[in-house]
Amino acid sequence: MPRFTLNINDREYTVEAPEKMPILWALRDKLNLTGSKFGCGIGQCGACTIHADGTPIRGCCVPIKALEGKVLRTIEGISVEHPVKESWRKLDVAQCGYCQTGQIMSAVALLDRKPEPTEEEINRAMKGNICRCGTYNRIKNAIMEASKNRIA
Ligand code: FES
Ligand code: FES
């Protein structure tokens, strides 16, 4: 079985896995990083969102082989004091919570590249993250709140 070296949350991991294994499987089943969730498995819901070199990607669709040499970040790599996690708690965003790690990863990537996004930019950046509980308004408000706190 091929071995891959991955940089995840500033730590190096070696994983034995088939080349085509999606990174989400490696994270959850081989590395016990279970914060990223499996939703649709076909790139449509965003529950599995992680960062590769700062860009949000769908972990269910990207093979482990394509991610060697990239800097990966998962929800476990976002500190509890991060402004996005703080605003999520303050505004009590989550309902069932299943989609929320993906939502947070997309929000963090947005604010990293655009610290003061407009409402339209938020809508565009977040449109691939589905929430069956309909927490969209709280998500948008939390992103605005985090943006305010980052620049305060
Ligand atoms: S589980 Fe990956 S996009 Fe839905
Ligand atoms: S909080 Fe339940 S799916 Fe989003």
pLDDT in tens, 47-89: 999 999 999 999 999 999 999 999 999 999 999 999 999 999 9
Which atom from ligand 1 is nearest to the alpha carbon of 37?
1
Going from the Cα of 83 to the center of ligand 1, the distance in angstroms, rounded, reads: 25
Q: Give the number of the atom of ligand 2 that is nearest the alpha carbon of residue 93.
A: 1
pLDDT tens per residue across span 105-132: 999 999 999 999 999 999 999 999 999 9
**Same domain, yes or no: 91 and 135:** yes
Q: What is the mean pLDDT of residues 126-139?
A: 98
Residues 10-33: what's their mean pLDDT? Answer: 98
Q: Do 67 and 28 have their domain in common?
A: yes
Overall pTM surpassing 0.95 (yes/no): yes
Tell me, using a 6 A CB cutoff, whether residue 43 lines ligand 1.
yes
Q: Determine the structural domain holding residue 109 and report its residue range.
A: 83-151
Ligand showing the shortest atom-to-Cα distance for residue 23? 1
48 lines ligand 1 (CB under 6 A): yes
- Same domain as 110, residue 64: no
Total domains in the fold of the chain:
2
Residues with a CB atom less than 6 Å from ligand 2: 94-100, 131-133, 135
- Please tell me if the CB atom of residue 47 comes closer than 6 angstroms to any atom of ligand 1: yes
90-94: long-range contacts (C-beta < 8 A, 24 or more apart)?
90/142, 90/145, 91/138, 91/141, 91/142, 91/145, 92/138, 93/135, 93/138, 93/139, 93/142, 94/135
CA nearest ligand 2 atom 4, residue? 131
Whether residue 97 sits in one domain with residue 69: no
Do 46 and 106 lie in one domain? The reply is: no
